Amino acid sequence: MAEKYYCKYCGSHYDSIAQLVGQNCYKNPDGKRHVLYEGSTQKKEYVCKHCGAHAGNIARLTGLTCPKNRNGNKHHEPAL
Ligand SMILES: [Zn+2]
Ligand SMILES: [Zn+2]
């Protein structure tokens, strides 16, 4: 199974980092491009670093709004 690279803001995944950072991310609060999620992509569960909510994958976690995220982005953000 080929390794995938995930965006920490939206959970989109790509075959290479170059592809990932070359695409616009509609959930990135302070830039336009996807930002690499640098934690393990093999986790069974991802936890929001702001509020502790968890979900089975990054896309699902970042697809929900976060009650404690004050960084401009109102969605959950996965802890590493
Ligand atoms: Zn993204
Ligand atoms: Zn959260």
Expressed in angstroms and rounded, the spacing between residue 34 Cα and the centre of ligand 2 is 19
Q: What is the pLDDT of residues 58-71, one digit of tens each?
A: 999 999 999 998 87
At residue 73 the predicted structure's pLDDT band, cuts being 50, 70 and 90, is: confident
Nearest ligand to residue 52 Cα: 2
Nearest ligand to residue 29 Cα: 1
φ, ψ dihedrals at 50, nearest 5°: -90, -40
Distance of CA 4 to the CA centre of its chain: 13
At residue 3 the predicted structure's pLDDT band, cuts being 50, 70 and 90, is: confident
Q: Exposed (0-12), middle (13-18) or buried (19+): which is 77, by Cβ within 10 Å? A: buried
Joined together, the tokens standing for residue 61 give: 């976690």
Considering only CA atoms, which of 37, 63, 65 is closest in space to residue 51?
Answer: 65
- Residue 29 confidence (pLDDT) above 90: no
SS3 20: helix
At residue 20 the predicted structure's pLDDT band, cuts being 50, 70 and 90, is: very high
Amino acid 51 reads: C
Nearest ligand to residue 76 Cα: 2
